[in-house]
Structure 1
């Protein structure tokens, strides 16, 4: 398996990320109604009113107990470069109604995010439904225009990162995970996003070369069935010699050596030489000559037991004979658990019989539409060391979207609330602070939403709060530790919290997942994590629902 260097390249990555964001997410990558609303705000003179929006999702994805929040760094870079070009404005003139005042287009030409402030949960955080992840404050028209782009940058990134983390939990710590979903992804940008955030979520490697260039994701690859089936004869192997690794300058006839080893392997295993595919052996030899230090072959192009495994062992033993260390095999069809056990048995027999210790550590890679359930099976019953996952990872087949939303919570210092006949779609009014309460064992147990003007909760002090959900009664809790979840990440047109590399965020994700209680991160029927309102916020929500507050403070949407 050929692997690229994974050395730290934080500065280079950040520059590449910013170029990528400018190219992928220009200001016109949004919904038309953002412009029609912005115009209406401008037309009535409300466009500069200070407003606050919150970005959140309602339920943890995949019937799980948590999600991972990512995409923030792209949001920061998007905000820093947000500006309409003359070409953008000229195009808007052609699609907005002819009655649009020309002064609005001049307003757009001067627009930027210098008046926007963003407070956010940090990139790579474990998060839960209904917790405001990002608070976007600024002039009403501007923060309205940002909605679709911010949602686009967070929704899929967080979903696929969470999916990757679940695969990692299912795999356990010993198994390597290779993301190989580029050809299955929803377009080039979906493929790049999946590779980047799968790595952050816990995958070790990606097949996506561009993800390696842009984000420093370690890349890996082997050979495909097409390479194997393109060969038919040993006469196609060229060159037919290989220089030993130990320093002997004289090239060795590798074909004769491999034939000899093939005969010995067949004798050891009682295999019929007549069923072995010569073209497959030729393909393996050609690849071994090209990459003697990185020989890993796909062995199911024909028959694993009757041909592929025998040919691999012959070529791998040949390489060992010449001082090289082969890497292993890949399986891409059939019963992967059963086949991997048989392959491991053969490797051990060869290691013992031929006195080749390297055969004990050969890697077995499994691929073939692997799901989360397959991973649980592999972890318990197989000899697979590395799993290549594509379709079920990048397309998030269990749940296609995280469902993040972006809702208005305050205008000119007054709370705004959407009150819906569907309780799940009602919003929580007012500018807020978010605190994570931690128990004496270091596990988070409750996220507390407060109004921003409230004093923060204190470690060791009892507090009363109201958990979100069907039961509206209050509870009393005493945290051992309290952490403020949100920090300022963008202000006055500048990024105020450093943008991290993918590797740095990946490390953080693994650390924060370790703090989560097992009952909240188990893959099947996890306990629901508690998100609760402070007494003052609960009272404000109740007043809004009952219509007992100043009517201008609340917006009702049935």
Structure 2
């Protein structure tokens, strides 16, 4: 076997041995996620660490962000499970090592032998639970291990967390503005940034509070409920009712068959045109649209939801839909509702609802007035807020472009910073105080007030006594001397939990289902004070450090900062 083969180094563990050591775990959802999904400088640094004999130095890195997105005061953490999947399957294959040799030709052979044996069995990951609300400066993840391998995790971890957290937060903000009673449907696949952007968006929008997706692949991968009807193309593809060849439809209970469903639809349309209760609200409707609706109902009688704005919503789309829905009702089926994709959504939804209520009363069709009204058409947080202020009758919002592309903010800006090496705290200084790191291995807590809302997040040194319920605690802004307060918490929650124990022997938290993470997200949002959640001018959420950690930060800052000299 040549020098690139596994037999070249008898100490290299086999894949099976690594699996037994690390514990079997599913691979990352996207097969592109591998140790090579990183920046070149991570490998050049790894080589420099190895060359200096420092590659096994024990390092601690914090992954966090500096500012909440979308002008808000909270973020929702996403991407943790994919990070754990990556480290559980971290292994450089021979073809990957060969590629690295080609781009790093001056590196010694021993370095590639080191890479060949590399895994994450000695890495520890402590993280806030995925789906939690999180805040600037507080570590979302603390990653400990040999400095070279942890450095190789930096870029993929940031890649997996940044977009996931951003789009989950965007979805949560849409959920908040829409309210709990409205259905939210993610329709963004066709506008997403590539296949992975589409799949990730569907997953994390669901976690952030959406109810369903149009993305079939995401429905399969993540068991997300699927929703979808037809497009304008389907409506405009029909010319007349004569195109419908198979006109038969069995009743809902299969006890009988209507041989000419088309005639029943026409009969109902005629009744609607003659109805005094509708006051001649419409005349001759578009017959190609009626044919499309009828055909779709024949194909999908249990899920008839029609797109009604291809020609004219109130003069054609709504009456045509109602004629088909009433024909279905005769056979024991219940139509689902309509989708509005253009025009004045508030006005059209109100007019449509009134039309449905008139029909329910006029023709004694229970529940017809409560048919589902779905709105789409490039909706975003602002337009939903505007609809709420105008008043509307929309039951469900289908949202795509602005949601999955995070149109109002391109990136979250998570960073991965060294805070300790071989037990020695490290700090990064900057003239921009927001970029100064908080050194050392830390523990993080969320303190709750008497009303059940979160008051603030508190960071302490690893060996400090944890805050206790009912005890007075001094909480300080990390960098502002005058910003401090005493807090008496009514509940204390420790945030960082062990999700990958490495060689520590700590109990590992199980990764929950996507549905559980969605429920956690909704629960955490309910535990936020309303003034932190509002869209305009939200109250900043406090992130603090203990008095001891504050003193330590500023002592280390003074020790590390160069002393100037004036002449």
Normalising by the residue count of structure 2, what TM-score does the alignment of the two structures yield? 0.91
Which residue of 68, 88, 92 maps to 1:80? Answer: 88
Aligned to 1:483, what secondary structure does the other structure show? strand
The reply on whether 1:177 has 2:192 as its aligned counterpart is no
Which of 311, 317, 325 pairs up with 2:326?
Answer: 317
Distance 2:315 2:493 in 1: 60
In 2, Cα distance between equivalents of 1:209 and 1:247: 29
Do the aligned partners of residues 171 and 296 (structure 1) sit closer, same or farther apart at CA in structure 2, a change above 3 Å counting?
A: same
Tell me what 2:446 maps to: 436
Q: Is 2:476–2:483's contact at 8 Å kept on the other side of the alignment?
A: yes
Report the CA distance between 1:400 and its aligned residue: 1.3
- Equivalent residue for 2:474? 464
Contact residue 182 and residue 390 of structure 1 kept, 8 A: yes
1:51–1:412: 8 Å Cα contact kept in structure 2? yes
Within 5 Å, which residues of 2 pair with 1:441-452? 441-452=451-462
Aligned to 1:115: 122
Matches within 5 A, 1:91-490: 91-96=99-104, 98-268=105-275, 269-271=278-280, 275-380=284-389, 381-468=391-478, 470=480, 472-490=482-500
2:72 is matched with which residue? 64
Bigger Cα displacement from structure 2, 45-54 vs 484-493: 484-493
Can you give the 5+ residue segments of structure 1 that lack an aligned partner in the other structure? 1-14, 552-558
Offset at residue 17 of structure 1 (A) = 9.2
Work out which of the residue numbers 76, 83, 97 in structure 2 matches 1:89: 97
The alpha-carbon deviation at position 413 of structure 1 amounts to: 0.5
Q: Secondary structure at the match of 2:221?
A: helix
Does the 8 Å CA contact 1:53/1:410 hold for their aligned counterparts? yes
Cα–Cα, structure 1 residues 18 and 92, in superposed 2: closer, same or farther, change >3 Å?
A: same
- Corresponding residue SS for 2:367: helix
Q: Indicate if the aligned counterparts of 2:163 and 2:412 stay in contact, CA closer than 8 A.
A: yes
Q: Distance in 1 between matches of 2:257 and 2:210?
A: 42
What secondary structure sits across from 1:419 in the alignment? coil
Q: What is the distance in 2 between the residues matched to 1:234 and 1:179? A: 33
Aligned pairs for 1:27-46 within 5 A = 27-46=35-54
2:19 aligned partner: none
In structure 2, distance between residues paired with 1:63 and 1:458: 33
Distance 1:327 1:78, change over 3 A: same
Distance 1:240 1:284 in 2: 13
Bigger shift: residues 377-386 or 208-217: 377-386
SS of alignment partner, residue 70 of structure 2: helix
Structure 2 unaligned regions, length at least 5: 1-22
| C-alpha spacing 1:550/1:540, structure 2 compared with 1 (3 Å) | farther
CA distance in 1 between counterparts of 2:249 and 2:117 reads 66
Aligned mates of 2:498, 2:25 — CA distance in 1: 20
| Inter-partner Cα distance in structure 2 for 1:27 and 1:214 | 23
Matched position secondary structure for 2:537: coil
Task: Measure how far apart 1:473 and its partner are.
Answer: 4.0
User: How far apart, CA to CA, are the structure 2 residues paired with 1:16 and 1:352?
Assistant: 61
Q: Compare relative contact order (CA 8 Å, sep 6+) and give the higher one, 1 or 2.
A: 1
Q: Is the CA contact (8 Å cut-off) linking 1:238 and 1:286 kept in structure 2?
A: no
Q: Report the count of equivalent residues.
A: 536
Task: Write out per-residue CA displacement over residues 307-357 of structure 1, whole angstroms, 9 at most, x where no aligned residue.
Answer: 111110111111111211001100000110000000001111111111111
Equivalent in the alignment of 1:6: none
CA-atom RMSD, angstroms?
Answer: 2.0
Check conservation: 2:131, 2:521, Cα contact below 8 A: yes
Aligned to 2:11: none
Equivalents in 1 of 2:366, 2:479: separation in Å? 59
**Cα offset, 1:379, TM superposition:** 3.5
Q: For residues 33 and 469 of structure 1, what CA distance do their matches in structure 2 show? A: 31
Kindly provide the CA deviation profile for residues 86-112 of structure 1, in whole angstroms up to 9, marking residues without a partner as x: 01100001112x221111111100000
Q: Identify the range of structure 1 (20-29 vs 155-164) with the bigger mean alpha-carbon deviation.
A: 20-29
- State how far apart, in whole Å, the 2-side matches of 1:406 and 1:534 are: 22
Q: CA deviation at 1:515?
A: 1.4
Following the alignment from structure 2 to structure 1, what is the Cα–Cα distance between the partners of residues 226 and 267?
35
Question: CA separation of 1:469/1:543 partners in 2, compared to 1, >3 Å: closer, same or farther?
Answer: closer
Cα pair 1:378 1:384 within 8 Å, conserved? no
**SS state of the match for residue 357, structure 1?**
coil
Which residue of 1 is the match for residue 508 of structure 2?
Answer: 496
Following the alignment from structure 1 to structure 2, what is the Cα–Cα distance between the partners of residues 112 and 352?
A: 69
